[in-house]
């Protein structure tokens, strides 16, 4: 994985702006739609889990786990944007990620925030 693959976040062409702030400079909130979220639960295949277990004994980055987490966060973000768009929003404020273990079968990643309609000042 190259460094560009470790990132994530929003694509520049998206019609729904997602920010981690309370507001967007130069814009005003015209309408608050409410909470939106995107959720995914992923597990690694047995070979990957064994490899990660061995790697954790000697130290170093668990690249397979990193890749899975990046993919999970991106999918959660895509679902967040889809839900916001379907409810008529053009922005999501205060976006956050929550990551938890899901009953020892995988990792749950939730992207959440407040869907709003904004316009330029």
What does the pLDDT look like over 15-67, one tens digit per residue? 999 999 999 999 999 999 999 999 998 875 544 455 545 555 566 776 777 78
- What is the span of the domain harbouring residue 51? 11-120
pLDDT in tens, 87-121: 999 999 999 999 888 767 778 899 999 999 999 99
Position 6 in a domain = no
pLDDT value of residue 101 = 80
For residue 38, is it within any domain? yes
Residue 32 within any structural domain of the chain:
yes
- Quick one: which of 20, 64, 15 has its CA closest to 42? 64
| Model pLDDT, residue 43 | 76
Domain count, the chain: 1
Please report, for the chain, how many H helices and E strands are present, in that order: 3, 4
Cα gap 92→77, rounded to integer Å: 11
Q: Of residues 23 and 5, which shows the higher confidence score? A: 23
């Amino acid at each position: 994985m190259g460094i560009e693959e470790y990132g994530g976040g929003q694509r520049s062409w998206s019609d729904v702006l997602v920010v981690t702030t309370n507001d967007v400079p130069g814009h005003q909130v015209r309408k608050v739609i409410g909470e939106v979220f995107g959720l995914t639960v992923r597990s690694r295949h047995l070979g990957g889990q064994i490899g990660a277990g061995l790697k954790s004994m000697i130290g170093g980055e668990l690249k397979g786990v990193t890749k899975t987490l990046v993919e999970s966060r991106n999918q959660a973000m895509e679902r967040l944007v889809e839900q916001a768009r379907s409810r008529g929003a053009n922005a999501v404020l205060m976006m956050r990620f929550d990551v938890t273990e899901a009953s020892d079968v995988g990792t749950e990643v939730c992207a959440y925030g407040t869907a709003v309609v904004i316009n330029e000042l």
